Amino acid sequence: MKHELVLVLDFGGQYNQLIARRVRECGVYCEVKPYTTPLSELKAMNPIGIIFTGGPNSVYLNTSPQVDPEIFTWGIPILGICYGCQLMAHSLGGLVTPAQEDTAREYGKTTTYYDTSCKLFAGLPAEGISWMSHGDYMAKVPQGFALVGHTEMCPNAAIADESRGFYGVQYHPEVNHTEHGVAMIRNFLYEACHAKGDWTMGDYCKSAIAAVREKVGDGKVLLALSGGVDSSVAAALLAEAVGKQLTCVFVDHGLMRLNEGDEVEAAFSKWDINFVRVDAETRFLLKLAGESDPETKRKIIGEEFIRVFEEESKKIGAVDFLAQGTIYPDVIESGAGDAETIKSHHNVGGLPDFVDFKDIIEPLRMLFKDEVRQLGRELGLPEYLVSRQPFPGPGLAIRIIGDITKEKADTLRLADFIFREEIAKAGEDKNLNQYFAVLTNTRSVGVMGDGRTYDYTLALRAVTTADFMTADWARIPYDVLDKISVRIVNEVPGINRIVYDITSKPPATIEWE
């Protein structure tokens, strides 16, 4: 099924993916393209509207990203955001200059007044907070444009030429700080672009299954299943599409969380696929024995994983497709919107060299993380898999500080399970983006019953974050922490002290190693 499409033209702003997500949240399919994409290519995609993103540059510099001026005679609605707004003004004969100190340079939350007779603000309050982040100023707007939004400092916070379907906003409607920002994007889509809103996960699921069937034919597909959200949803989609033609290899390196391996296996038992679970705990622990450097641990696990996968795939023989759970944020270029900077992301580095296959299949390539979760639900995967918090590939290996033994892994597994169980019981899991226990390498004196103990200190880590690049430590209520602490020291042998990590990222990282 062909969906109506809106294109986000990327000028290197930090919120570009967020813009695309917002558009999809409004029920319209959307793709991000670098600003360098030739106009003929954009036209061939037949979009119903285009959004120019923000970006770090100033439009009046020669070196700044520009667009083919013919984009403005194409007859397609355009919404310019921040740099995108200034670019539109600059390209159409307006004047953009550096803002003078104290005048129109604006950063942060700003009270903004809107002209609600403009389609962009139809049905919305005439006043609200918007999120500004611009050092340039539109000294003169192009002919044909009306001023449809202003702040105390800036007479042209929003401009529009409704006859041509051109809209520009200096602020960022895509961020949560802008009140009614998503409603403005929705207005652009439905009022200016006349979208019907045909992007639903149910439809997408059906068309994705059909597309996989067509591509795979009667070929064989191999997938490395980690138990994380992306590879699990990719596996479920392929299972639904091609059943027995799919082989999933699930390598259990012995550093998973409690019951994780069984949960993953159980989730896939409803499909008739070839599910290979490799219990490789012994060989991983043997390779890791005595090693305490975090990066070396990661390297050992990565290499051993490839070796195990290679052995298993040799048993299976030649396959036609190697499937991967690559998702859209991995595909969109990071940074300045130049085509060359697109990352080629492989969930399991190096695999394609080892497996004899004809083509790669990436069924989640166009989906954002929250859409992947939605698709997983659509496919009937259990909620514990679909809403699972991120878990690093090396697993508990990087949460056991120092060298790793099976005993330490078992200790940490149980403590981590209790932590997660109590967090869920208290309903705190909804407020946290990642939370786990760390077995520190420190032992200290304690007293239990009448005896002296000399046992390990366990650290609890819980963070809130939007993107995992920065994070804040979570304010878990003291009584919840107390309950967790009492349970762990009582139920987990070898631990006599619990500490809570109250460091943000930066300067710390989320993981301890």
The binding site for ligand XMP (CB under 6 A) comprises 298, 390, 392-394, 434, 468, 505, 509-511
Contact of 351 with 48, CB cutoff 8 Å: no
Min separation Cβ 360 and ligand XMP, Å: 20
Contacts of residue 345, Cβ cutoff 8 Å, sequence gap at least 6: 326, 330, 331
Q: How far apart are CA 445 and CA 443, in angstroms?
A: 7
Cβ-based nearer residue to ligand XMP, 176 or 509: 509
Min separation Cβ 46 and ligand XMP, Å: 38
Contacts of residue 113, Cβ cutoff 8 Å, sequence gap at least 6: 126, 127, 149, 150, 151
Contact of 84 with 170, CB cutoff 8 Å: no
Q: Using the 8-state DSSP alphabet, how is residue 189 labeled? A: I
Cβ-based nearer residue to ligand XMP, 21 or 399: 399
Min separation Cβ 81 and ligand XMP, Å: 28
- Catalytic residue chosen out of the listed positions 82, 118, 205, 248: 82
Cβ-based nearer residue to ligand XMP, 105 or 505: 505
Q: How far apart are CA 58 and CA 302, in angstroms?
A: 43
Min separation Cβ 23 and ligand XMP, Å: 26
Cβ-based nearer residue to ligand XMP, 7 or 510: 510
Q: Peptide bond before 173: cis, by omega within 30 degrees of 0?
A: no
Q: Using the 8-state DSSP alphabet, how is residue 231 labeled? A: H
| 290 CB-contact burial (10 Å; exposed 0-12 / middle 13-18 / buried 19+) | exposed
- Catalytic residue chosen out of the listed positions 90, 172, 180, 253: 172
Cβ-based nearer residue to ligand XMP, 155 or 393: 393
Cβ-based nearer residue to ligand XMP, 46 or 509: 509
174 is known as an active-site residue:
yes
Q: How far apart are CA 441 and CA 420, in angstroms?
A: 21
What value does the CA radius of gyration of the chain take, rounded to a whole number of Å? 26
30 is known as an active-site residue:
no
Q: How far apart are CA 70 and CA 157, in angstroms?
A: 25
Amino acid at 410: D
118 is known as an active-site residue:
no
- Catalytic residue chosen out of the listed positions 4, 106, 162, 174: 174
Min separation Cβ 394 and ligand XMP, Å: 5
Min separation Cβ 142 and ligand XMP, Å: 44
- Annotated catalytic residues are 82, 172, 174
